[in-house]
Structure 1
Amino acid sequence: MKISKEVKTSVLVIAGIVLFIFGFNYLKGKNLLNSSRTYYTVYDNVEGLESSTPITINGLRVGKVISIGFKGDGSAHLLVEFTVDSDFEFSKNSKAELYETGLIGGKAIAVVPAFDGAPKAESGATLEGTIKPGLSELVNQRLTPLQEKVEKVTTSVNTAFTNLNDVFDEEAKAKMRKSIEDLDGVLISFKRTSDNLNNMLGDKESNLNKSLANVEHLSSNLSKVSDSLAQANLKSTINDLQSTLNNLNTMIAGINEGNGTMGKLMNDDSLYDNLEGATRQLEELLQDLKLNPKRYVHFSVFGKKAKQYDAEGNEIKDKQD
């Protein structure tokens, strides 16, 4: 069977069209022979993200970016289309995180899978887009507050110096210079004193060494004395003293309670009353002896009988008289 030129030409044209479509889509990142899933996400800024940029899940490349363009709703948001060639399934609540691929620039998208029991993300679904702060953004976040603080400190220092210049007039500045000169003189004097002290210590070094040796010898003797005191039978002496004190306390307690001769003497009021009565009678006797000595002392040359008196001082006459 002979094929006509028209058929051959038609076949070539159709094959060319098919190859053109396949090649064009391949260059755009689409593989018409591969059953990959297509997803979309939206960002405010995708600086550094380009077509054919890898799509990763936990660091593993599973697809690539197909196209980047405006969303078309007048919001200036950017719509990113990407494919996932892997059969790995994840929830529709998963996120598409935009991150930096290195220090020299460039960005990629990482699918952060969610396993929350929600329906799986079907091809054509739109995932929530998030942006992971890069190194430059983290540095800016740290440096911006520091820069503000440095600017505030610089402003404060400038204000302080301005106020200082306003406060210190020429006379005050002259006084400050004079004070600094005086301080310099004090430092010079202090240095001289230090040198003299060093010289004096150098001359008296031998005496100081002897004094230190004597102090060391004295401390050694004190150590020996303390050892001797520690070895002495102080505990037995203290125990004997404590026992003596306890006996003394017992004796005093017995006296206070009226036990024994000393206790009765100290606590029996009758002895005091008897002594007081005897003393009073002795005083009366002495007084009567002074006033009436003849009652007690009788002297007779011829042996005359002495007169007798009663207790009241009346003369007792003999019945013969």
Structure 2
Amino acid sequence: MRGENKRSVLVGIFVFLGIAILVAGILTLGGQQKKFVKSIHLKTVFDNIGGLQTGNNIWFSGVKIGTVRKINFYGDSQVEIEMNVEKSVADYIRKDSKATISSDGLIGNKIIVIYGGSTEVPAVEEGDRLEGVMPLDTDKMMETLQVNNENLVEITADLKVLTGKIANGDGIIGAVMTDSTLAENFKTILVNLDRASSNSLRMINELNAFTAKLNKEGNLFNDLVTDTTMVTDLKASMESLKSTAENSAEMTRKLNEITDKLNSSDNSMGMLLNDPAFAESLKSTMQNADSATYNLNKGMEALEYTWPFNRGFKRKAKAEEKAESGN
């Protein structure tokens, strides 16, 4: 009798412990699944949920705020997700927030991540639908990585061939790297370039110094740039030079006309300069006039000794002698 009571007590203790463990487990799982927390229902739609299941977690700003309540087909081929979200967190989720599917860790369970939203938009309410954003497709990423790997292999093979040719001295780069003569020439070119760069720098410094001198007050160039009065005088001088040039052009044109006339035989001066027959005739006339003048002078000298004029010339001579003696 005593043994049976003892057995009954032990069974009761184990049953009580089992019930306690069951209740604790239920409470723990319920706490993790947010079963005993006041929540609101939100919805979102995806083209492909990628293995998302009921009970998977929902995260917002790195904090777990709820679970996936239900998964329904929607429209032609889309999937609607119903979410239980803690009511205390709903005030921070805006109506323009977005939902996407992610993974809990590298190969963990699928989760829904709520993000975004602007403060100007009101907070979500019971039954609101958030915009669903499809995540990156892992299969497409792997295909892209595979293509990139193939391209990388080809690039590596080409690079191997290129380095082999360089090592063998093929091509310009290989010749430069293996031929000492080309290396010396290249070094000389670099020295010349460095010298040219130094000369260019010196020239720039000299130009800067020259420019600084030009910009000093009292300098002609500086006065031309800054003195408005000198600019006005210079403009007036240029106008005067322009007028003088126009007058010179006009004078040159008239001189050309005179020269043309002198070169022509249809005027007196042109005939004098260009007609040989007229020149010979004029020369003969001048010779005759010279001869007539000589004969006239001889006649005048002979006239002094003729009777009608002899006495007059004698009086003139006496008067001249008297005037000279009086002086």
Fold conserved (TM > 0.5)?
Answer: no
TM-score using structure 1 length: 0.34
- Structure having the higher helix fraction is 2
TM-score using structure 2 length: 0.34
